Amino acid sequence: MTENELIGEEQQTEETGLVTFSEAKAYLRVDSSYEDSLITALLASAVSICMDVARLSPCEWKGIAEYASNMRKTLTIRGEEKSKGEILQMKELLRIGVLYALGYLYEHREEADHHDLVLTLRNLLFAVREGVF
C-alpha cells in the first residue's frame, strides 16, 4: 500500500468512524485498486444515507462513531443521555447499516432503487431512528 493510499484510508476512517476503507473493500470482496475512488464515494454516500435514516446529526454520528468500549462517559442523543451499552449497540447497528448500504449501492450501481434501500435501512436502524435504546 502506498503512502497516498494510507493517508486516504486514514481520512476515510476519520470521516465515517465506523467502517474503514480497507473494511469496505474486504466486505465488497474487491482486491484491486481499480475501483477505489468508486468505493470511497459509495462509502461516503452510505454514511450519509444512514445518518439521514437514523435521524442523527453529524455531531451525534461522530460521537457514536468515536465511542470506544473502554470509555465510561455517556452521550446525549436527541436530548437523551445514552449509557455505554446503548451507545455500543447503536454503533454496531449503524455499522451494519453502512455496510448494507455500501453493498447495495455497489451491487446496484447501474439501477439502484433508493426507495427500497431506504425502506430496508429504516427497518435495520429502527431502534436508533426511533430512540428505542
Tens digits of per-residue pLDDT, 89-128?
Answer: 999 999 999 999 999 999 999 998 999 999 999 999 999 9
> Confidence class of residue 16 from pLDDT cuts 50, 70 and 90?
low
- DSSP secondary structure string for all residues of 94-132: HHHHHHHHHHHHHHTTTT--HHHHHHHHHHHTHHHHTT-
Domain tally, the chain: 1
Q: What is the pLDDT of residues 39-89, one digit of tens each?
A: 999 999 999 999 999 999 999 999 999 998 888 888 999 999 999 999 999
* Domain boundaries, position 13: 3-129
Q: Are strands 80-82 and 75-77 parallel, antiparallel or unpaired?
A: antiparallel
- The pTM (predicted TM-score) of the whole model is 0.85
